[in-house]
Structure 1
Amino acid sequence: MTSDHPPVHVFGGTSDARLICQQLDAAGERYSLSVASDAGRQLAGDIGGEILVGRMDAAAMTDFLVARQVRWVIDASHPYASLLTDNVITACEQAQVPMTRYQRPSEIDALQHPLLHKVDSLTAACAVALSLGPRVLLTTGSKQLADYQRGLTGKTLLVRVLPTADVLNQCEALGLGVDNIIALRGPFSAEFNHALYVFCQPDVVITKESGAQGGYQEKVAPCLALNIPCIVVRRPDAVVLGPNGQQVTSLAEFSQHLTHWQQQRGQ
């Protein structure tokens, strides 16, 4: 029985996912997109596919893929959303659906400097920051703010987060006030970040290995130019894809996979 639902499903909530959805639109492909929050829905912009808001565990994903007779899954979630990717892999294996993981290229080795500290975890980032000055600027998003707050006791936290009601309420619940919150949507130019650092006067900046799409070098280079220590939390180890999984690292490579998939379906 043929499903009325789109044959392609994207897991996203990132700028990468939006670009992939735009490629699907340009190719005339029917698809749907899952995002975890309203911020992800807003980031998707005016894409043509159906947008579904809400989190799913592996079991719920499996049921979803089977019920909607999804034929191809694209995981374009954030490089640090390892639990989500693990759930997608499990669900695709259970539902026997081919999966493509879009992994944005890393730029972690693009910059080297004595003030640039590359660490493997939030705990390690806090350990380095505790040995530095009192004002810590976090550009790591809102998900782990409570963990950073616990790990940086005694420090003044400045947090750059998305300007959404949910995120601001989360900051308020943690006791962060107007002097602590910088609510802006990135990525930003190096010039913008330079001006922000001059204005905020942080003693250290903590960020993530976000790649070119996340403005990694534009965040880090101004820190180093201003002699501000910068701590970068590396990405989690790459996930192991199942037998039906494949990885792409560029939009051009994804376009080739899309063309091949459509040819296989006789389009």
Structure 2
Amino acid sequence: MKIFLLGGTKDSVNIIEHVKNNYEAYILTTTTTEYGAKLALEGGSDETIARPLLKDEIIKIFINGDFDILIDATHPFAEHITQTSASIAKELKIPFIRFERPPINLENIDTSRIHYANSFDEAGKMIESNFPKGNVMHFAGANTMEEVLKHVPTERFYPRILKVAGSLEKCEKLNVNPDHIIPMKGAASKQENIELIEKYDASVMITKESGEIGGVIEKIDAANEKDIAIIMIQRPEIAGLNKNDMVSNLDELDIKLKSFF
């Protein structure tokens, strides 16, 4: 089977490795960065496209490449591309799977330092009013910095981002001090997070509710140990998704693939 995979996440790399080990399949993976494409190739993807694609481009590549199925394994917060992929599947009447990583289980975790927000603008306002002192570590990607920086001064702001051209340009545009940029390579361990909190004298950490695979538990544990606040952005409810198209683990993915093929 020929798979068109919308990737750029650890989930998508896991899918590539799993499919390649268990099926006869050709996989084209699209990511928004060269780093994401590199990880996809290392995972076994046959081909990659390392740039954002418009809806019409995805449709054209899918049809011209004679692909059998569209799998969306983008980040839980990549709301626009997930809505786009679901609408493409509906228009083309093609097999479609949305791989949605499960939310984190906080049942046995100390959540007393977590403050929930529905947007990054809300997070910035919360910090401005409730946490006016100490530095802010932004563990939520370069694309979300601007909303926070409407309310938080750049001298307090330390983003952990991929040091790629697009992210560095955003930092420059927003006047983020280059010395404040924390290079990112995958999810950090609890100890690494503790060391960052100490190094940058942080009083607040911003993160997304991106699931265990996104290192959220390690961030919470580190924040608890160092007694700092966490602003956690809750996942968006993505309109237009059919629950029957969604899977949350590789076993469920297998069931779906076998039902299609």
Report if TM-score (shorter chain) is over 0.5. yes
Find out whether 1:13 has 2:8 as its counterpart.
Answer: yes
- Distance (Å, rounded) in 2 between the aligned partners of 1:64 and 1:151: 41
Cα offset, 1:108, TM superposition: 6.0
- Residue aligning to 1:75: 72
Give secondary structure in 2 for the equivalent of 1:218: helix
Q: What pairs with 1:1-267 in structure 2 (closer than 5 Å)?
A: 7-26=2-21, 27-46=23-42, 47-107=44-104, 109-110=106-107, 111-130=109-128, 131-132=130-131, 133-153=133-153, 156-242=156-242, 246-261=245-260, 264=261
Following superposition, the deviation at residue 215 of structure 1 comes to: 0.7
Q: Is the 8 A contact 2:121 2:150 kept in 1?
A: no
Is 2:29–2:45's contact at 8 Å kept on the other side of the alignment? no
Distance 2:150 2:234 in 1: 20
Deviation at 1:254, TM superposition (A): 1.3
Aligned CA distance change for structure 1 residues 203 and 114 (closer, same or farther; 3 Å): same
Ranges in structure 1 where 5+ consecutive residues have no aligned partner: 1-5
2:6–2:72 contact (8 Å) kept in structure 1: yes
Q: Which moved more, 1:50-59 or 1:228-237?
A: 50-59
The one-character-per-residue Cα deviations of 1:20-54 (angstroms, maximum 9, x if unpaired) are: 01112112211211112213212324123211122
| Residue type of the alignment partner of 1:240 | G
For 2:88, the aligned partner's letter is A
* Residue type at the aligned position of 1:31: I
The more displaced of 116-125 and 11-20 is 116-125
Cα gap change, 1:127 to 1:192, in 2 (>3 Å): same
| Residues 209 and 232, structure 1, Cα contact 8 Å, conserved in 2 | yes
1:58/1:90 contact within 8 Å kept = no
Does the 8 Å contact 2:124/2:151 carry over to 1? yes
- The structure whose residues are more often helix, as a share, is 2
Check the 8 A contact 2:154/2:177 in 1, yes or no.
Answer: no
Q: 1:153 to 1:99 in 2, by over 3 A?
A: same
Amino acid corresponding to residue 166 of structure 1 in structure 2: G
User: Structure 2 counterpart of 1:127, which letter?
Assistant: K
1:102-150, Cα deviation, whole Å (9 max, x unpaired): 0001116444433210111112211211120241110001112222222
Query: CA, structure 1 residues 167+150, in 2 after alignment: closer, same or farther (shift >3 Å)?
Result: same
1:242 Cα deviation from its structure 2 partner: 4.8
1:230 aligns to what SS in structure 2? strand
The alpha-carbon distance between structure 1 residues 154 and 258, as it changes in their structure 2 partners (threshold 3 A), is closer
* Partners of 1:113 and 1:9 in 2: CA distance: 39
Give the whole-Å Cα distance in 2 for the aligned partners of 1:75 and 1:56.
13
1:226, distance to aligned residue in structure 2 (A): 1.1
| Deviation by residue 1:153-201 (Cα, 9 ceiling, x = unmatched) | 4761011111223322332232222331111212011111112111211
* Partner Cα separation in structure 1 for residue 96 and residue 2 of structure 2: 12
TM-score (norm. length: structure 1): 0.88
Percent identity between matched residues is 23
Contact 1:70 1:97 in 2 (8 A): no
Structure 1 residues 166 and 123: alpha-carbon distance in aligned structure 2, compared to 1, 3 A threshold: closer
Distance (Å, rounded) in 2 between the aligned partners of 1:214 and 1:36: 18
Q: Is the 8 A contact 1:224 1:230 kept in 2?
A: no
Q: TM-score, length-normalised on structure 2?
A: 0.90
CA RMSD for the aligned pairs?
2.0
